[in-house]
Structure 1
Amino acid sequence: MDRAVPEDANRRPLAVDVRRVGSGAVVAPVGELDHHTADVLREALDACVAEGCPRIVIDCSGLEFCDSTGLNVLLATRQEAEAVGSQVHLAGMSPIVARVFEITGAGAVFTVHRDLEAALAAMPGD
């Protein structure tokens, strides 16, 4: 399932691809995650939590930017997922996105993998 926000001349729109992997899901946002685009990712993640995915891996390798609104979407999703016994893992953060997590300390509350392959390898077998 792909979702996208209309393109603005000053930023790249955010597209979000969601695919099932076993009983979990891989959510791959591509573009800029900010206050204009955060709802696109929020909807995809909310659907994964509502479907009861026990493990959600967010592949951040396609993110070019993440502001505080995007960070809040990820943090809220982690809390909602944990409240129903699910986990949220992050994978493949670029240095610019990783810096936001480092500055805010948010990286300490997530399990972060170097890339999607490492995250998938760490998933329990279904």
Structure 2
Amino acid sequence: MDRGTAGSANRGRLQVGVRTEGLSEVVKPSGELDHHTAALLSEPLDEALAQGRSRLVVDCSELEFCDSTGLNVLLGARLKAEAAGGGVHLAGLLPVVARVLEITGAEAVFTVHRSVEEALSV
């Protein structure tokens, strides 16, 4: 399911796909996650939590950029998911996004997997 696109042309765009896999909600942002597009990711994460799915897998394999606003969306979802007894698993990080997590120290608070399949298997 495509949750929407924000921005224009090729810059500033984000599309978010959502699917349920067993007990996990898999959310796949594609494009650039920033101040202008963050709501497109936060909405399906919040919706999944509101529906009782507290194990969130974020497929980052097509996430080309993530700024501090995007990082805050992920951190906020993590706190909400953990409060509900679940967690946020990040999968398939591209080097540019992995670097943001490394620089900020956020990699220490997320469970990071090489792939969605690996995240779903634990």
Greater strand proportion: 2
Tell me the equivalent position of 2:49: 49
Q: How does 1:1-126 map to 2 (within 5 A)?
A: 1-9=1-9, 11-122=11-122
AA aligned opposite 1:51: Q
Question: How far did residue 6 of structure 1 move?
Answer: 3.4
The 8 Å contact of residues 4 and 13 in structure 1, kept in 2 or not, is answered as no
Question: How far did residue 55 of structure 1 move?
Answer: 1.1
What is the TM-score when the length of structure 2 is the normalising length?
A: 0.94
Post-superposition CA distance 1:42-63 (Å, at most 9, x none) = 0010001111113110000010
Q: Gapped runs of 5+ residues in structure 2?
A: none
SS in 1 for 2:85: coil
Question: How far did residue 23 of structure 1 move?
Answer: 2.0
Q: Gapped runs of 5+ residues in structure 1?
A: none
Distance 1:77 1:34 in 2: 16
The 8 Å contact of residues 52 and 86 in structure 1, kept in 2 or not, is answered as no
AA aligned opposite 1:87: G
Distance 1:21 1:7, change over 3 A: same
What is the TM-score when the length of structure 1 is the normalising length?
A: 0.92
Q: CA RMSD in A?
A: 1.2
- The share of aligned pairs that are identical, in percent, is 62
The 8 Å contact of residues 64 and 96 in structure 1, kept in 2 or not, is answered as yes
The 8 Å contact of residues 25 and 53 in structure 1, kept in 2 or not, is answered as yes
AA aligned opposite 2:30: V
